[in-house]
């Protein structure tokens, strides 16, 4: 299991989603990484559903004001358990559903 932790908070908004997808694309089935963000990454979840459908699991590890920790795992075929996106973009300004 990949236990990498990526803190997105210091990055410019467009770079946050790009890094998340780069990290995900290096994972083998069953591997995961955690990311930390300063807000709920709803827009990123929407993008994962759009660009990597049925291929990931999404777990909220910690949700506090200013600190969200999400674990993203590459799922086995047919084993994805990601929640459906709710609401609009995440507000980070990163594009792709964010506003």
Within 10 Å of residue 1's Cβ, how many Cβ atoms?
A: 10
Q: Which residues of the chain have pLDDT under 50?
A: 1, 89-90, 95-99
Confidence (pLDDT) at 77: 85
Q: Is-contact 67 81, C-beta < 8 A?
A: no
| Distance from C-alpha of 73 to C-alpha of 70, rounded to nearest angstrom | 10
Q: Looking at the whole model, is its pTM more than 0.75?
A: yes
Query: Which residues on adjacent β-strands are paired with residue 4?
Result: 33
């Amino acid at each position: 299991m990949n236990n990498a932790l990526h803190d997105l908070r210091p990055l410019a908004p467009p770079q946050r989603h790009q890094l998340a997808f780069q990290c995900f694309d290096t994972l083998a089935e069953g591997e995961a990484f955690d990311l930390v963000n300063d807000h709920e990454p709803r827009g990123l979840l929407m993008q994962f559903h759009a660009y990597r459908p049925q291929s990931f699991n999404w777990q909220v590890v910690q949700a506090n004001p200013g600190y969200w920790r999400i674990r993203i795992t590459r799922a086995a075929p047919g084993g994805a358990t990601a929640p459906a996106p709710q609401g609009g973009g995440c507000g980070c300004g990163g594009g792709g559903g964010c506003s």
